[in-house]
Amino acid sequence: MLLSLTLLTDMAVHHSFLVILAALTGIHSITAVSEVSVKAGESITIPCLYDSQYINHVKYLCGGYYFASCSYVVKTNQNYGSGRFSISDDKKQRIFTVTIKDLTDQDTHYWCSVEINRGRDVGQYFHLSVTRGSPRLYVDHQEIKGFNGHSVNISCKYRNAGEKRFCRLGGNCVTGTRGSIDGTTVTITTRVPGVFTVTMSGLTTKSSGWYSCATGDLQMPVHLTVTAKPTTTTHATTGLTTTTGLSPPRETVNPSVSEDDTRTSSCCSFSIHLKSIIIIPLSVLLFILMVALFIWYMLKGKKQNEAESSFAATAEENMVYSTVKCKRKPGQHTGVPVEEEVIYSNVQEKRKPSRKMSDAKSDVEIIYSSVVTVKQQTPRRVEEKPKSVR
């Protein structure tokens, strides 16, 4: 127990010494968070705010316990080390950020540094407390987006004791339950155990920047980006819906953002309009073609039926009928059947050719043959028997 207290005391002394050393090496030149709790294997982005006099200077991340003996990790003018480290410089906001990926137990002592030509470099120390479990103070996402005139909620999850604060990097802090940062209303609520929620209301483009959740000696940086909320407008002439960036009344919008949104909207409108010009006429043309083919097919069938009906109606038929007579020759004897004479006759059908059928024959002759036999009964005589003479 005594050993543990001794170690904690030594660590506190070393930490205080590093804070004092950071103050001596330019605390007014560079501002950064000082103590951050992170989880092994995750990544963290640390913002470093610098004075305007260092806008065109080289910025770098230096790793080591002492600034005098730390080593370059990554610089804005060239890259060092592995791909776990990256750095970027926003000269407009005067903030350079360093990102460390795949955190390990060795990622502990670092310095946000600015290179001074013909002089001693300046740096600001920050310490990473790498844990295997959940960090003592963390947020789900370091990057947060909001819209002009609206509000955002930031959930700061903690496991350590201490006063709860919400601060802007290089600016003032809000403690308690309510306050204001650069004209933006900040409300802090603690309804859920282990979480304090920060609500920023009445956002403007000036609200964009780096902030930090803080409990005790821990800080967790978060970045807020505020843009104009897209609004949906309908064009009466085409019925198309496009999205354009329009800011609410009484808000100042960055002209470059407005132009980019307008350019994106115009490109989207042109693409949709081009599709309507090509697809709609092709669909109408295909429909007209199908209707025309259907009508042509119906007319063709109707004409064919009329031709067949006309051919049958215009064919004139002449039928020649003939009678058949039977002549009987009388028998010489009355008791013998008479002989009958049969006369054969032809029936001929003549058809006149149709004008529409050029290949039809001029005369179609059909001959039917028939034989009719008519037999009549001849009366027989009954011979009277001679009466017997009595």
Q: Per-residue DSSP letters for 63-131?
A: ESSSTTT-EEEEESSS--S-TTEEEEEETTTTEEEEEE-S--TT--EEEEEE--TTS--EEEEEEEEEE
Q: What is the pLDDT of residue 189?
A: 96
- By CB atoms closer than 10 A (0-12, 13-18, 19+), residue 84 is middle
Give the pLDDT confidence score for residue 309 in this predicted structure: 66
Fold of 13-135: Immunoglobulin-like (2.60.40)
Domain boundaries, the chain: 13-135, 231-284
- 356 close to 310: Cβ distance less than 8 angstroms: yes
Distance CA(126)–CA(221), nearest Å, equals 12
The residues pairing with 286 across neighbouring beta strands, listed in sequence order, are: none
342: tokens are: 């049969």
**Per-residue tens of pLDDT for the chain, all 390 residues:** 333 334 333 444 444 444 444 444 444 589 999 999 999 999 999 999 999 999 999 999 999 999 999 999 999 998 655 689 999 999 999 999 999 999 999 999 999 999 998 889 999 999 999 999 999 999 999 999 999 999 999 999 999 989 999 999 999 999 999 999 999 999 999 999 999 999 999 999 999 999 999 999 999 999 999 999 887 655 544 444 444 444 444 444 443 444 445 444 455 555 555 566 778 888 888 899 899 988 988 888 877 777 666 655 554 444 444 554 555 555 444 444 544 555 555 545 445 544 444 444 444 444 555 544 545 444 444 444 444 443
Q: Are 171 and 182 in contact (CB under 8 A)?
A: yes
Confidence at residue 186, expressed as pLDDT on a 0 to 100 scale: 97
Secondary structure letter of residue 380 according to DSSP: P
Amino acid at 382: V
The reported pLDDT for the residue numbered 304 is 76
pLDDT at 37: 97
pLDDT for 28: 53
The residue with tokens 């009958």 is 340
pLDDT of the residue at 369: 52
What pLDDT was estimated at residue 49? 97
